[in-house]
Structure 1
Amino acid sequence: MTEVGALLAGRYRLERRLGSGGMGVVWLATDELLQRPVAVKQLSAAEGASPEVAEEARQRAMREGRLAARLHHPNAVAVHDVTEHDGFPVLIMEYLPSRSLSEVLAEKGRMTPGKVASMGAQAAAALEAAHAAGITHRDIKPGNVLLGDDGTAKITDFGISHAADDVSVTRTGVIAGTPAYLSPEVARGQSPTPASDVYSLGATLYAAVEGVPPFGEDATNSIALLHEVAAGRFRPPQLAGVLAPVLSRMLHVDPAQRPTPAQAAEALRAVGSGAPNPLPEPDLTQPMSRVEDTALVGAVDNGTRLDNAPVAPPRRSRRWIYLTAGAVTAAVLVALAFLLPSGDQQQQQQTASPAELERVVSDYYALLPEHPANAWTRLGTGLQAQGRSGYEAFWSSVSEVQVVEPPTVTGRNAVRIGIVLVMPDGTRITEHHQLGLRGARQPLIESDSVVDSSTSSPPPPPAPVEKPQPPNPGEHRPGKGNEHKDEPGKKGSDN
């Protein structure tokens, strides 16, 4: 058994254990040749594997390690060397003093959209470089994203620790990976692709900003969770704000509709800077990949088989929904009703959901007053007709915008919000606005009415404290030889 102080490959001295898992142990070590700290990852054979499978896994891990060593990117943990010890592969990697995203989320619960966008842009850039080098990660998740104290994000474990799992996949049909972060096509048994990495990164960012993965994280029933992932219908993000449209595209059930890593990185950087989302709209002329309803091929990490298990729709509140014959009939009638909508229903189909309307208004005021040019793009033609120069001039005169009453839908395409405008001199203008929006997809703000307004002036500056005035030169002061002038009965001089 390898212990502290052991020397591997004649140069790597083990200092202390950093962590361990099902695939091996990670050590902090010193490269005595180059005198630098490194992370040493010792891979081990899967428990219960036959000698034939273990040997194939060893060879695959060595190939994966050599391939990963070709990747050089500031946001990817570098693999410096690949060697063997006691017949098992050993990977020598860059040591980054950091915490994993999973550790950060365990402590804080979730992160702000701005920080998630910055982290995601860095991770997406690393994926772009990896895919260009022919490397697919296959297991992007919070545990494989490292965060440095300076805000640097790096992806680690580019498919290396699951090289042995891949051998099991080819032999037994077992799905390797973390169910909560798998793409729908991988959950259905298809091979991982670069588009699958983009989906897994989107799921990781979703978990960072929402606090939970898109389909939840049911460790007690990973098979049921895998069914939900395969169906591909997740709960829309509720806390992501301006980040939500980017996440939704990265989590598209159709791999062809997802952005490339380069497009995702650009969109995430834009969100972080307050710029408009540059991702194009999905191509609705292309058929969406169909969710297979025949079977989920394979199983999850624990080896449980899912042969001939039909894909079920996602659960609500973790309860399965079964359709009886009568319910099926009712579903058909509902479908026919949608095929023949009434006039009111046709109008409703052109209306965004209340949550979407409130999100649009929240995102709009989040851009102000720092980014009026970007906020301008959220306005419809009715408001833009009033002139951009005056619009930007007004917001340049405002120091801060505070939302004191969150946006609330009050009617069809109508949202009310309460704000405070803080002016440079400290004056606070409290206003309630009724906004009218238009459009079912990416609604724009078409009208803005001030319901009520009040102004509070800043408190007057404190009155200056009066300082004692120095005496005049001719003023009588004691001790100057003329004290007797004030004595009664004495006038003039003593003479």
Structure 2
Amino acid sequence: MIAFTCPERHQQPAADTVRRGASMGGHTRNGEGRLIRNRYLLRELLGQGGMGAVWLAQDQLLRRDVAVKEVIFSCGPTEEQRKIRFDRSLREARSSARLRHPAIIEVYDAFERDGRLWIVMRYFPGRSLAAILLDLGSLAPERVAHIGVVVLDALTAAHSLGVVHRDVKPANILIAETGEIVLTDFGVAFVDGETTLTLHGEVLGTCLYMAPEQLCGELAAPSADLWALGATLYEAVQGHPPCVGPDASLPASAPLTPIINGLMRKDPEQRLTAHLAGQMLAEIARRPEDPREGAV
């Protein structure tokens, strides 16, 4: 049984922020056609967030499409806050660049220009799991289990190098039309051995998917990523986050119930291990999808 105090629900994202056709919310497109660092030609604004934008660009040297993340730091009211946000974004690039896994977006380059940080990475033309759930409501358990296997494998690779993602959620899982799945956005990741980059009173992550110990301000460990994965799998089969709706519990007979409940145990020491969770998810993922299957 999932037992924790739920924060107030946040609104679901209205659209993808890293794919073609995403709503720009009034963001200027004046950057289209610019050549950055005499190499990267900005072609299309793919999305935006509170700290910048993501562009589809062409690497003029290697003649391939890339995604370029433009990180803007002018929103911070103090120089200290701007520096922390810059350092955190640079750490995102560094932590992602040290990871080599097919389900983690590869970082190619990073540099500072005009007071902004530019991160060049693999272009992945997919939709976020969050957007897919907005369209479909929920997914079959077998498909959710497959997503879980891929994301868990990516997290295991990150954890083996001392990197904790800290923000696993449907919006940070991208799925291509080919079925390929990747985990994105290591922007709030914690790297073992490095200084924590936070502002006073700041909690990093997304509350709906944060482990209880994270909400209490404790340092995130790999077990916190496992909790967040459990919350993500829950939303994928139920159609809403675990603390939203009249009943947060899963039907006892649902195939993913033992896994989700095991990943979301309040005590981090009592949660399913990544190895055991991976085995259980893989077993369900191998089953053929039942078209008559409901949300769970």
TM-score grouping bracket, smaller chain normalisation: 0.7 to 0.9
Q: Which segments of 5 or more consecutive residues in structure 1 lack a partner in the other structure?
A: 218-233, 276-365, 368-401, 404-495
Aligned to 2:85: 57
Q: Which amino acid aligns with 1:243?
A: L
Q: Which amino acid aligns with 1:271?
A: I
Q: Is the 8 A contact 2:52 2:69 kept in 1?
A: yes
In the alignment, does 2:126 pair up with 1:113? no
**1:37 Cα deviation after fit:** 0.8
The CA RMSD measured in Å over matched residues stands at 2.6
**1:240 Cα deviation after fit:** 7.8
**1:56 Cα deviation after fit:** 3.1
Whose radius of gyration is greater, 1 or 2? 1
2:223 aligned to 172, 187, 195, which one? 195
In the alignment, does 2:126 pair up with 1:98? yes
Match of 1:241, SS state, is: coil
- Post-superposition Cα deviations, 1:42-66, rounded to whole Å, max 9, x if no partner, equal 1122734311221232133213311
**1:193 Cα deviation after fit:** 1.4
Structure-1 separation of matches of 2:49 and 2:251: 33
**1:270 Cα deviation after fit:** 1.2
**TM-score, normalisation: structure 1:** 0.49
Aligned to 2:110: 82
Per the alignment, do residues 269 and 56 of structure 1 end up closer, same or farther by CA in structure 2, a change over 3 Å counting? Answer: same
| Bigger relative CO (Cα 8 Å, ≥ 6 apart) | 2
Q: Which amino acid aligns with 1:270?
A: E
Percentage identity across paired residues of the two chains:
38
Per the alignment, do residues 265 and 49 of structure 1 end up closer, same or farther by CA in structure 2, a change over 3 Å counting? Answer: farther
Q: Which amino acid aligns with 1:43?
A: V
- Post-superposition Cα deviations, 1:405-456, rounded to whole Å, max 9, x if no partner, equal xxxxxxxxxxxxxxxxxxxxxxxxxxxxxxxxxxxxxxxxxxxxxxxxxxxx
Which stretch of the first structure deviates more once superposed, 239-248 or 251-260? 239-248
In the alignment, does 2:291 pair up with 1:263? no
Q: Is the 8 A contact 1:210 1:239 kept in 2?
A: no
Structure-2 separation of matches of 1:113 and 1:261: 19
**1:208 Cα deviation after fit:** 0.5
Aligned to 2:65: 37
**1:82 Cα deviation after fit:** 1.3
Match of 1:172, SS state, is: coil
**TM-score, normalisation: structure 2:** 0.80
Q: Which runs of 4+ in 1 moved over 4 A?
A: 160-163
- Post-superposition Cα deviations, 1:223-254, rounded to whole Å, max 9, x if no partner, equal xxxxxxxxxxx822239821110111111111
Aligned to 2:267: 254
Q: Which amino acid aligns with 2:40?
A: Y
Match of 1:4, SS state, is: coil
- Post-superposition Cα deviations, 1:45-103, rounded to whole Å, max 9, x if no partner, equal 27343112212321332133112101111111111111122122111111111100011
Match of 2:186, SS state, is: coil
Q: Which segments of 5 or more consecutive residues in structure 2 lack a partner in the other structure?
A: 1-27
Q: Is the 8 A contact 2:174 2:183 kept in 1?
A: yes
Structure-1 separation of matches of 2:261 and 2:273: 14
1:243 aligned to 231, 248, 256, which one? 256
Per the alignment, do residues 46 and 145 of structure 1 end up closer, same or farther by CA in structure 2, a change over 3 Å counting? Answer: farther
Q: Which amino acid aligns with 1:31?
A: D
Q: Which amino acid aligns with 1:138?
A: R
Matches within 5 A, 1:358-397: none
Per the alignment, do residues 134 and 49 of structure 1 end up closer, same or farther by CA in structure 2, a change over 3 Å counting? Answer: farther
Q: Is the 8 A contact 1:23 1:161 kept in 2?
A: no
Structure-1 separation of matches of 2:123 and 2:251: 36
Aligned to 1:142: 170
Aligned to 1:213: 241
Structure-1 separation of matches of 2:171 and 2:241: 13
Per the alignment, do residues 14 and 151 of structure 1 end up closer, same or farther by CA in structure 2, a change over 3 Å counting? Answer: same
